[in-house]
Amino acid sequence: MSSVTLRNVVKRYGQLEVVHGINLEIDEGAFVVLLGPSGCGKTTTLRMVAGLESISDGQLEIASRVVNDVAPKDRQIAMVFQNYALYPHMTVRQNMEFALKPQKLADGEVDRRITEASRILGLEPLLARKPAQLSGGQRQRVAMARAMVRTPKVFLFDEPLSNLDAKLRTQVRLEIAKLHKRLGTTVLYVTHDQIEAMTLADKIVIMKDGHIEQVGSPEEVFASPKNLFVATFIGSPSMNLFQMTVEQAELGLLLTSQPFSVPVPSPLLSKLSPGRQVTLGVRPSDIRIAAKGEPGSFEARVDVVEYLGIEALLNLRIGSQEFIAQVAAAERPVPDQDVSVFFNPAGLHFFDSQSGQAL
Ligand X SMILES: Nc1ncnc2c1ncn2[C@@H]1O[C@H](COP(=O)(O)OP(=O)(O)O)[C@@H](O)[C@H]1O
One-letter identity of residue 321: Q
Burial class of residue 128, CB neighbours in 10 A (0-12, 13-18, 19+): exposed
> Among 67, 77, 198, 262, which residue sits at the site for other proteins (rule: CB under 8 A)?
77
**Binding status of residue 315 toward Mg ion by CB under 5 A:** no
The answer to whether the beta carbons of residues 110 and 75 sit under 8 Å apart is no
Q: Compare residues 42 and 180 and give the one whose CB is closer to ligand X.
A: 42
Q: Compare residues 42 and 169 and give the one whose CB is closer to ligand X.
A: 42
Pick from Mg ion, other proteins, ligand X, none: which does 342 bind, CB < 5 to 8 A by kind? none
> Among 16, 71, 106, 330, which residue sits at the site for other proteins (rule: CB under 8 A)?
71
**How far apart are the C-alpha atoms of 270 and 272, rounded to whole Å?**
6
**How far apart are the C-alpha atoms of 57 and 265, rounded to whole Å?**
44
**Binding status of residue 150 toward other proteins by CB under 8 A:** yes
Pick from Mg ion, ligand X, other proteins, none: which does 73 bind, CB < 5 to 8 A by kind? other proteins
**How far apart are the C-alpha atoms of 243 and 49, rounded to whole Å?**
41
> CA torsion angle for 181, 133, 97, 78 (degrees, to 10)?
-40
Pick from Mg ion, other proteins, ligand X, none: which does 88 bind, CB < 5 to 8 A by kind? other proteins
Q: Compare residues 43 and 245 and give the one whose CB is closer to ligand X.
A: 43
**How far apart are the C-alpha atoms of 3 and 289, rounded to whole Å?**
48
Neighbours of 337 (CB within 10 A): 8
**Binding status of residue 43 toward Mg ion by CB under 5 A:** yes
Contact positions vs ligand X (CB under 6 A): 13, 16, 18, 36, 38-44
**Binding status of residue 171 toward other proteins by CB under 8 A:** no
Give contact residues for other proteins (rule: CB under 8 A). Answer: 50-52, 71-75, 77-79, 81, 83-89, 98-99, 101-103, 130-134, 136, 139, 146, 150, 156, 163-164
